[in-house]
Amino acid sequence: MQDLLTIGELSVRSGVAPSALRYYERLGLIRADRTGGNQRRYARAELRRVAFIRISQQVGVSLDEIRAALDSLPEARTPSPQDWARLSASWRSRLDERIRLLTRLRDDLDGCIGCGCLSLQRCTLNNPGDTLAGEGPGARLVLPRPVDDPTPAGSPA
């Protein structure tokens, strides 16, 4: 066991496919030394970078933003625990926000289930720049903003 990992080893240890690791490298998220025969050899510290990438993805951050965050790490030295803590902390509010939104959606869903209304207005939905923010595809709001459903109260759906 040396201090350098092959791509296969890093893949197994990180749970990330080799093709994804190469992709990350192309995007500048991780780096590798090369052997005389041009094969990648990863320093152990890269494991932490990959860990950070995966965590960040869970939080809902794009690879591009992750790259920006990683770029803020000191280049001269191996990042310290404090460095990593700072980066992780920077996602904290986004994570909180996502949890808050989903929780609110759940509560609203419960309310809607109670009354069976599923009305766009009272639900968390269609609250642009709030619920629609930051979630994956399909959550882009193109039009200015939704308008209340003027169905006369009591009409049959």
- Is 133 a residue that touches DNA (CB under 7 A)? no
CA dist 19 and 34 (Å) reads 17
Site string for DNA, 26-55 (x = CB under 7 A): ------x--xxxxxx---------------
CA–CA distance, 31 with 40 (Å, rounded to integer): 9
Which region among 2-10, 68-76, 111-119, 120-128 touches DNA (by CB under 7 A)?
A: 2-10
Residue closer to DNA, measured from CB, 39 or 103: 39
* Joined tokens for residue 87: 């980066």
**Token pair in block for residue 119:** 């009305």
CA angle 32, 33, 36 (to 5 degrees): 140
User: Which window, 33-41, 67-75, 124-132, contacts a second copy (CB under 8 A)?
Assistant: 124-132
Site residues for a second copy, 64-83, by CB under 8 A, read 78-82
Point out which span in 25-33, 34-42, 68-76, 108-116 binds a second copy (CB under 8 A): 108-116
Please list, in sequence order, all residues whose beta carbon lies within 8 angstroms of the beta carbon of residue 1, skipping any fewer than 6 positions away. none
Alpha carbons 157 and 145: distance in angstroms, whole number:
23
Residues near DNA (CB under 7 A) are 6-9, 11, 17-20, 22-23, 32, 35-40, 57, 62-64, 137-140, 142
